[in-house]
Chains A and B, each alone.
Chain A
Amino acid sequence: MTTALTQTVGLTRPKTTRFNANPIIRIVLMLLALSAMSGLAIITLFIFKEGVPIIAKVGFRHFLFSSNWYPLEGEFGIFSMIMGSLAVTAGAMVVGMVFGLGCAILLTQFCPPRWVSIIKPAIELLAGIPSVVYGFIGVAILVPFIRDYLGGPGLSVLASSIVLGVMTLPTITSISVDALQAVPRTYGEGSIALGATEWQTTYMVILKAARSGIVAAVILGMGRAIGETMAVIMVAGNTLDVPHSILDPVRTLTSNIALEMGYAAGDHRKALFATGVTLFVIIMILNTIALTVSRRRSKGKVLAK
């Protein structure tokens, strides 16, 4: 269109033999855009290169399903940590879902705009607080409370679940809010017109329509919880047993890496990388599920943060 216009008006660009930089700019930008993908590739490569040989040496089964972690004797079994991570994540999801979804539904359906402009930034701020501060508050307040009123050592699955639940709440809320807002307004209006109350509309129509986005939100929250490190180290107790109750202390995959990386060497260090490989695989599976679930509905749309 532009060329047509310039031709009719009789204005053409001066015909200097200027060097056309456009293709070069395009290629440079494309290479920079591929940096994230190449970063991902190189991370995968190096983590696997360090971790996989030791898994092969110990034996895949033994590594995953043995609870014996005695680095000095060359015993590397991470079963108790896998169970620890799962227990803590499951607990965190209960807390994160109730609070995260509750906030998301309130923000999109029932909240007057003036309050939205207070609650939303507050939840974003919650995401900005350093994880060490969460861990610290957990140790200072939550752990003594659990020890005194519920029994056990206090450092426990329960304490970690609550701390992680609060930490994953912003992720779950912000993605669910996007999913709920993407539901066409006519759906809700139709339901109201049929005589349903706002709450009936919300849980029968809107939540159902936004289901896939909410599932994605919860799965991404799960990834956050399972990958969190510093806060969990501080409140989980880090013992090497499979937990039997929510008041038992546990060690997660992440805290195992962070706790022992400082002094590990040789096979021990490699085994920590192998722990990282396990974590990496779990996270990638969760991410892929979340991406496919949310892409299936909104094809071509970018997954919101």
Chain B
Amino acid sequence: MRISPKHSQRIAVTVMWAIAGLTLAVLAFIISYILWHGLRHITWTFLTEPPQSMGREGGVLPMIVGTLWVTGLAVLIAAPVGIAAAIYLTEYTREGRMTAIIRFGADCLAGIPSIIFGLFGFVFFVITLGMGFSILSGALTLALMVLPTIIRTSEEAIRAVPKSYRDVSFGLGSTRWQMVTWVVLRSALPGICTGVVLSIGRSISETAAVMLTAGSAMGFPHSIFESSRTLSLHFYILSREGISMSNAYATASVLILSILGINLFAYWLMRRFVAKAV
């Protein structure tokens, strides 16, 4: 029996809606499952106290601080470099061998799995440079990891700035650098920020790379040269070793909530950017 084109159209569209529906359902399920089990364990003391007996009791304050340090430092290192690279690619050079090399490097770096970054960070920062398991080692490794994202999103944002802005700026007698900093970067800012915010999200969720570079010490980190366990690694250890399910769920909830917040913020920034560009 042949199915008529009209029927096959209807079947195909139904199947695709089902697929998309299932995808959304999976997302909703993951988020609600974690929050359902975890939210009630998040208390003020959980957020403001150090863990006791390997995380069986107590809170996650050192992990929150450690995560903030590692993530903040990583983005602080990667953002200026990435934005500079994007400025170079868009404003200071023509398409050629140089841009091809830069793009190839960024594209390949983006595809490298986090465990390889972890191995590299371990042998290079931790051992060769003698930084030991520390926040600094972890942050440098993550910075390298999020660099391609920042380069690419910044480049797209800068390219979206209308050419007329640049002409007007030159017409008023500005130098190239003045044009870049006062005109282009200013109007590309929301787009660039979106990339940076998404990189923050990626750094927070990363586990494999920080496990091999920042270590898993549970103490409160007093400087960037100390080892510190991040939230995601803490969650991994709690759940995998079955130390405390309630604390694992609570930690996961903190993670999920921060990722949700970050993504919403990035989405808001992006919409603002698009609204402005049009």
Contact = CB atoms under 8 A, between A and B. Distances in A.
B113 A279 contact: yes
Interface in B67-115: 80-81, 84-85, 87-89, 92-93, 95, 98, 101-115
| Residue from B30, B101, B118, B153 with most neighbouring chain A CB atoms (10 Å) | B30
A33 B24 contact: no
Nearest to A130: B205
B173 A123 contact: no
Interface stretch (A64-72, A144-152, A183-191, A193-201): A193-201
B204 interface: yes
24 contacts: A30-B98, A33-B88, A36-B102, A36-B105, A37-B102, A39-B144, A40-B112, A42-B120, A43-B144, A46-B120, A124-B263, A128-B262, A128-B263, A129-B27, A129-B259, A130-B204, A197-B6, A199-B13, A200-B9, A224-B113, A229-B114, A230-B236, A261-B119, A276-B116
Contacts of A273: 119, 123
A119 B144 CA distance: 30
Contacts of B208: 131, 229-230, 254, 258
A202 B80 CA distance: 43
A275 B213 CA distance: 18
B152 interface: yes
B22 interface: yes
A108 to B, nearest CB: 11
A46 B116 CA distance: 11
A133 interface: yes
A229 B236 CA distance: 12
A99 B23 contact: yes
A43 B105 contact: no
In the complex, which range does the number of interface residues on chain A fall in? 35 or more
A34 B113 contact: no
Contact of A133 (B5, B34, B170, B211): B34
Contact of A234 (B85, B98, B144, B240): B240
Nearest to A233: B240
A134 B208 CA distance: 14
Nearest to A305: B152
B102 A125 contact: no
Contacts of B155: 302
A191 B248 CA distance: 54
B189 interface: no
A56 interface: no
Given A102-B16, A125-B260, A131 B119 contact: no
Interface stretch (A73-81, A153-161, A242-250, A281-289): A281-289
A136 to B, nearest CB: 5
B173 A13 contact: yes
Interface in A110-142: 110-111, 118-119, 121-126, 128-137, 139-141
B273 interface: no
A125 B264 CA distance: 9
A236 B123 CA distance: 27
Rank and list the top 5 A-B pairs by shortest CB-CB distance, nearest first.
A227-B113, A37-B105, A130-B205, A102-B19, A33-B85
A300 B147 contact: no
Contact of B107 (A34, A124, A287): A287
A42 B95 CA distance: 25
Contact of B256 (A2, A123, A129, A291): A129
B252 A32 contact: no
